[in-house]
């Protein structure tokens, strides 16, 4: 058994107005990896490439050490996309009838146990489900066929905090089995801060960083100072800065010797935002 | 594959009552006019529409993108539609055969040939419609569907104008066999084309 759930080596994919450029990303097993970035950064494109929903221009993708376009791999992968695409007239029981003939290791009992846990009505048509219920149904399917890898593309978007908390608990329980891994893209950084072990940040088709979450937070500081103090900072420590009416906010990395200013911990959201800001001080 | 067919059958459950009511109405009209062809045509049309209706429902739900994340071969996405089409055709034509035999007092051999004729026409239309719908989607494919409906109606009108019944005509058994082989090969070619289209699809 390899160390990585997913390996992307030199992955490129080009569209008319967008280019995913030479992405190298190794998603470890037994961990939750968060994939963050602005809209159009390439998160969904990366996920679709992993799932062979679109074809790569170059590079290699492996899942569990096997070529990603081996269809049998999908028995081991549970997927929840930003919307759950069941036909609207189907109900929970219909979904079970279908899925037990799709997945070899479909666990009917587990599926109905999750339905019970998520309080999903058995005979209600899919079109009558709320968004939260639809995502829960999608997750119940993803968790009920012996998946070792969950891939979630904005699966918690548009959900209220109570449901999100419920789903995050399910994710944490899932990875208690060290063979299990999760790759989740989300705009809700607070969710990722709660559950993720690793954070990958993408911006305009590039992978900007991929680090352990705790190391990331510990190594960055948000420094509020004057413009003069900004100029005194070593350039290699500056990730980005933002000027305000009364001063400057600077994100610094691996730099403890900060004077004449206020130093705060940087959140993942700060780190993401400042990576897209100016970093050269004029 | 079986999961996909079950999905299609469950997905279309809202249409079964409409189909049954339509069959009863057209059956009654056909019986009152003592013309079984009306019933044959409507049953044939339902069978033709089955795969495209199912694809329309899939398109609405964006099912194909979700199915691409499952351990389902892409070629099966195409094959399941053709199996659904064939199953619907066999079922509908069997209904037509039995009703015509019992209510219209038709003889077995000409009725059998007439039924096979309907099946062949339906398979030809499906052979065109399914890959077009796979390639262009349901909306654009719908226009061609309306045109393709003219084919079976036109064929029946032409036969009637020429004084030829669908079953009794100048065609020999050999001709029927040849037409059957051509129809089956066209249908299989259509399946291959649809499978290739699904293999190239991006989601």
DSSP chain A: --SEEEEEEEEEEE-SS-EEEEEEEEEETTSEEEEE--TTSSHHHHHHHHTTSS--SEEEEEETTEETT-GGGGGGEEEE-SS----TT--HHHHHHHHTTT-TT--HHHHHHHHHHTT--SSS-GGGS-HHHHHHHHHHHHHSS--SEEEEESTTTT--HHHHHHHHHHHHHHTTSTT-EEEEE-S-HHHHHHH-SEEEEEETTEEEEEEEHHHHHHHEEEEEE-HHHHHHS-GGGEEEEEE-SS-EEEEEES-----SSEEEEPPHHHHHHHTTS-----
Inspect the interface and report whether the beta carbons of B3 and A100 lie closer than 8 Å: yes
Q: Which residue in B4, B10, B66 is closest to A97 by CB distance?
A: B10
Most confident of A206-215, B100-109, B148-157: A206-215
In the predicted structure, residue B161 carries a pLDDT above the cut 80:
no
| Among A48, A33, A35, CA closest to A272 | A35
Query: How much is the pLDDT for B203?
Result: 87
- Between B63, B70, B202, which is nearest A87 by CB? B63
Taking an 8 Å cut-off on Cβ atoms, the answer to whether A90 and B6 are in contact is no
Q: Which of A54, A81, A94 sits opposite B202 (nearest CB)?
A: A54
| Residue A123 backbone phi and psi in degrees, to 5 | -105, 5
pLDDT tens digits for A148-196? 999 999 988 888 899 889 999 999 999 999 999 999 999 889 999 999 9
| Phi-psi map region of B170: left, alpha, beta (phi>0 left; psi -120 to 50 alpha) | alpha
* Placement of tokens 């006019």 in the chain: B33
Q: Is B71 helix (H, G, I), strand (E, B) or coil?
A: coil
- Choose among B4, B68, B73: nearest Cβ to A51: B68
Residue B168, pLDDT > 60, answer: no
CA A77 → CA A15, A80, A180, B109, B201, distances in Å? 27, 10, 10, 54, 21
Give yes or no for B63 touching A (CB within 8 A): yes
CB contact under 8 A, A74 and B2: no
Confidence of residue B39 (pLDDT cuts 50, 70, 90): confident
Task: Return the pLDDT at B164.
Answer: 63
For chain B, give the longest Cα–Cα distance: 55
Q: pLDDT at position B170, please?
A: 59
Residue A87: closest C-alpha in chain B: B61
Q: Which residue of B has its CA nearest to A101?
A: B3
- From A203's Cα to the closest Cα of chain B, the distance in A is 22
- This complex has an ipTM of 0.86
Of A271, A268, A224, A258, the closest CA to residue A243 belongs to: A224
Nearest CA in chain A to B15: A89
Going by pLDDT thresholds of 50, 70 and 90, the confidence category of residue B29 is: confident
Counting residues of chain B whose pLDDT is more than 70, the rounded percentage is: 93
Predicted confidence band at B184 (pLDDT cuts at 50, 70, 90)?
very high
Under-70 pLDDT residues of chain A: 1-2, 256-260, 278-282
The candidate with the shortest Cα–Cα distance to B48, out of B138, B146, B139, B123, is B123
Characterize the bridge pairing of strands A238-243 and A248-253.
Answer: antiparallel
Point out the least confidently predicted range of A169-178, A220-229, B53-62, B129-138: A220-229
Least confident of A50-54, B43-47, B76-80: B43-47
Q: Residue A114: phi, psi to the nearest 5? A: -65, -40
pLDDT at B169 over 60: no
Here the tokens at position A97 are 């009838």
pLDDT at B139 over 70: yes
Which residues of A, range 124-183, sit inside 8 Å of B by Cβ? 151
A54 neighbourhood in chain B, CB within 8 Å: 202-203
- Report which DSSP code applies to B35: -
* Sign of the CA dihedral with A17 first, then A22, A25, and A26 last: positive
- Identify the pLDDT of residue A238: 86
Residue B31 or A210, more confident: A210
* A87 at interface of B, judged by CB pairs closer than 8 A: yes
Question: What residue in A sits closest to B59 (Cα-Cα)?
Answer: A87
- What's the pTM? 0.86
Residue B90: the pLDDT is: 94
For residue B32, is pLDDT > 90? no
What is residue A2's predicted lDDT score, i.e. its pLDDT? 61
Q: For B69-94, what is the mean pLDDT?
A: 94
Question: Quick check: A89 contacting B, CB < 8 Å?
Answer: yes
């Amino acid at each position: 058994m390899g160390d990585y759930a997913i390996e992307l080596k030199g992955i490129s994919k080009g569209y008319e107005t967008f280019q995913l450029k030479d992405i190298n990303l190794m998603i470890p097993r037994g961990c939750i990896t968060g994939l963050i970035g602005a809209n159009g950064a390439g998160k969904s494109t990366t996920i679709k490439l992993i799932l062979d929903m679109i074809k790569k221009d170059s590079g290699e993708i492996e899942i569990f050490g096997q070529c990603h376009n081996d269809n049998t791999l999908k028995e081991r992968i549970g997927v929840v996309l930003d919307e759950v695409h069941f036909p609207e007239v189907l109900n929970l029981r219909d979904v079970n009838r279908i899925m037990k003939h799709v997945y070899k290791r479909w666990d009917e009992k587990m599926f109905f146990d999750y339905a019970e846990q998520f309080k999903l009505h058995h005979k209600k048509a899919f079109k009558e489900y709320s968004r939260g219920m639809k995502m829960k149904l999608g997750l119940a399917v993803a968790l009920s066929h012996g998946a070792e890898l969950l891939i979630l593309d904005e699966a918690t978007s548009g959900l209220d905090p109570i449901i999100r908390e419920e789903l995050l608990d399910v994710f944490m329980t899932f990875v208690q089995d060290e063979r299990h891994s999760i790759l989740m893209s989300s705009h809700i950084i607070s969710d990722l801060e709660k559950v993720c072990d690793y954070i990958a940040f993408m911006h305009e088709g590039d992978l900007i960083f991929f680090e352990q979450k705790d190391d990331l937070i510990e190594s960055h500081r948000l420094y509020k100072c004057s413009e003069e103090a900004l100029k005194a900072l070593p350039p290699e420590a500056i990730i980005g800065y933002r000027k305000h009416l009364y001063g400057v906010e600077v994100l610094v990395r691996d730099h403890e010797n900060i004077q004449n200013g206020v130093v705060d911990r940087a959140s993942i959201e700060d780190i993401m935002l400042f990576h897209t800001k100016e970093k050269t001080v004029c | 594959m079986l999961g996909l067919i079950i999905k299609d059958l469950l997905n279309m459950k809202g249409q079964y009552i409409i189909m049954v009511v339509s069959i009863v109405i057209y059956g009654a009209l056909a019986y009152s006019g003592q013309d079984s062809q009306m019933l044959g045509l409507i049953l044939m049309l339902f069978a033709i529409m089955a795969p495209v209706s199912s694809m329309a429902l899939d398109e609405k739900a964006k099912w194909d993108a979700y199915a691409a994340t499952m351990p389902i071969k892409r070629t099966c996405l195409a094959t399941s539609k053709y199996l659904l089409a064939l199953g619907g055709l066999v079922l509908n034509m069997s209904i037509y055969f039995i009703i015509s035999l019992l209510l219209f007092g038709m003889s077995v051999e000409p009725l059998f040939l007439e039924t096979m004729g309907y099946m062949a026409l339906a398979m030809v239309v499906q052979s065109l419609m399914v890959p077009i719908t796979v390639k262009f989607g349901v909306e654009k494919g719908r226009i061609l569907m309306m045109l393709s409906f003219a084919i079976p109606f036109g064929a029946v009108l032409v036969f009637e104008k020429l004084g030829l019944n669908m079953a009794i005509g100048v065609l020999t058994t050999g001709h029927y066999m040849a037409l059957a082989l051509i129809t089956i090969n066209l249908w299989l070619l259509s399946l291959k084309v649809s499978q290739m289209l699904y293999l190239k699809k991006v989601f």
